[in-house]
Amino acid sequence: MKKLHDCFILFTLLIIGLSCTKDGGYHDPQPIDKEYKGTTYEYLKSKPGIYDSLLRAIERVGAVHLLNDSSVTLFAVTNPGFQIAFTNLNNLYALSEKPSQSLSTIKYEQLDTMMAQYIIKGKYTANELRQQDGLALTTARYTYPMHAKVAKSTSSGYITGGPEYILISDTRRSQFNKDWVSANTGSINIHTKNGIVHVMASDHVFGFDNFITRLTFNPPPPNLFKIIGGKQTVSRENGGGANGVEGSNNVIDGNSLTKFLLGWGQGNSVDLTFELVTPAVAGAYTVTSANDESGRDPSDWNLQGSMDGENWTYLDSKTNQVFEDRQQQKVFRFVNRTAFKFYKLQITRNNGADGMQFADWTVNLAK
């Protein structure tokens, strides 16, 4: 009997020892791969009540073929993500007495480019995204740069002790992650016949924080630099010259991916003067931020007009301007009834960095 009792005690101690050895102090679940025998598009169709809005958006922008025939990774937004976006937008529209919008009525080009950010070229499960710095991705349409990495949530008080998720980021075409807008997935690694589906968290708002901004943006009138033509001169030039990689001609090329960069310690001011072929009445102008380093953004400036390039009239001035996003175009309107041949943008202060840069400026027709 004593021998049996001793064996029981030894067995109990062995079990306790094994339990202590197995418990690493946190839960380390592995992602469970799920398989669906149809295409990615068919998978979405098989989940009524979950992806209805996403399907409507995909169908309107003509992306069904990508989810049926192409090798893609879809970051799938559920119905609440669209509902929150449209509720916020329509609340704002109601304040200005504008008609409410829906997936069938919002501007096609805005829906198209926002939807493109969720459809990634190639198949990427969590395993492909486990690199320490994540992985740079491109969209299947328009080759827009995105980024994704695997992370772990907190569980029972342990940091990184919970299940894995994917952090997917809109890079805003910036190499600095402080400029990115990121969102989490709720579930991952759903395999379909032609791709991978990762489901966005239920609190993710469609559009990566840019939905309302895009749909309330009031575009500027026609650009006088383009419709009339002329030439630009600057008071200070980049070391590479006007046609250099970061020269002054970049700010009149209409491409937000190029920029004009100057060292700012050389006299903290720069004038950009555009001489039109024929005089024209301007009533607006634009300034577009560059791809990185928000501290180099212009902060204070003024716009002037002239008939002879010597006698100037102040048309507008701005101070303490902040560009919330990279490659963001801001439109500034002013009252003017005079046709000027010369328009000058004089930048006098930036946002604190050692250098000044921006992507574009225009002077625009008065309506």
In this prediction, residue 25 carries a pLDDT of: 40
- The CATH class that applies to domain 34-216 reads mainly beta
Kindly report, residue by residue over 234-264, the tens digit of the pLDDT.
Answer: 999 999 999 999 999 999 999 999 999 999 8
In this prediction, residue 326 carries a pLDDT of: 86
**Mean pLDDT, residues 96-120:** 94
What are the residue ranges spanned by the domains of the chain? 34-216, 224-365
pLDDT at 23 over 90: no
**Mean pLDDT, residues 80-98:** 92
What letter does residue 294 receive in the DSSP assignment?
Answer: G
End-to-end CA distance of the chain: 103
Residue 95 near residue 46, CB atoms below 8 Å: no
Look at 7-11, 63-67, 206-210, 311-315 and tell me which has the smallest mean pLDDT. Answer: 7-11
> Percentage of the chain with pLDDT > 70?
89
Residue 198 near residue 75, CB atoms below 8 Å: yes
Average confidence score pLDDT of the chain: 89
Residue 296 near residue 357, CB atoms below 8 Å: yes
**CA separation for the pair 204, 201 (Å, rounded):** 6
Confidence tier at 63 by pLDDT (50, 70, 90) = very high
Single-letter code of the amino acid located at 187: S
Residue 173 near residue 145, CB atoms below 8 Å: yes
In this prediction, residue 145 carries a pLDDT of: 94
Confidence tier at 55 by pLDDT (50, 70, 90) = very high
Confidence tier at 155 by pLDDT (50, 70, 90) = low
Q: Encoding tokens for residue 51?
A: 């992806």
CB within 8 A of 46, min separation 6: which ones? 36, 38
Q: What is the helix, strand, coil percentage profile of the chain, to 5?
A: 25, 30, 40
pLDDT at 26 over 60: no
DSSP H or E run through 288: strand 270-288
The residue that leads in pLDDT, 79 or 21, is 79
Sign of CA dihedral 176, 179, 181, 182: positive
What letter does residue 345 receive in the DSSP assignment?
Answer: E
- The CA distances from residue 365 to 24, 67, 192, 315, in Å, are 68, 43, 51, 14
In this prediction, residue 290 carries a pLDDT of: 94
In this prediction, residue 364 carries a pLDDT of: 97
224-365 carries CATH number 2.60.120.260:
yes
The residue that leads in pLDDT, 356 or 21, is 356
Residues in the chain: 367
**CA separation for the pair 54, 186 (Å, rounded):** 16
The residue that leads in pLDDT, 189 or 28, is 189
pTM over 0.85: no
Kindly report, residue by residue over 282-307, the tens digit of the pLDDT.
Answer: 999 999 999 989 999 999 999 999 99
Alpha-helical runs (H) found in 46-146: 52-60, 64-69, 79-95, 108-116
In this prediction, residue 152 carries a pLDDT of: 84
In this prediction, residue 6 carries a pLDDT of: 54
**Mean pLDDT, residues 55-72:** 97
Phi, psi dihedrals of residue 238, rounded to the nearest 5°: -65, 150
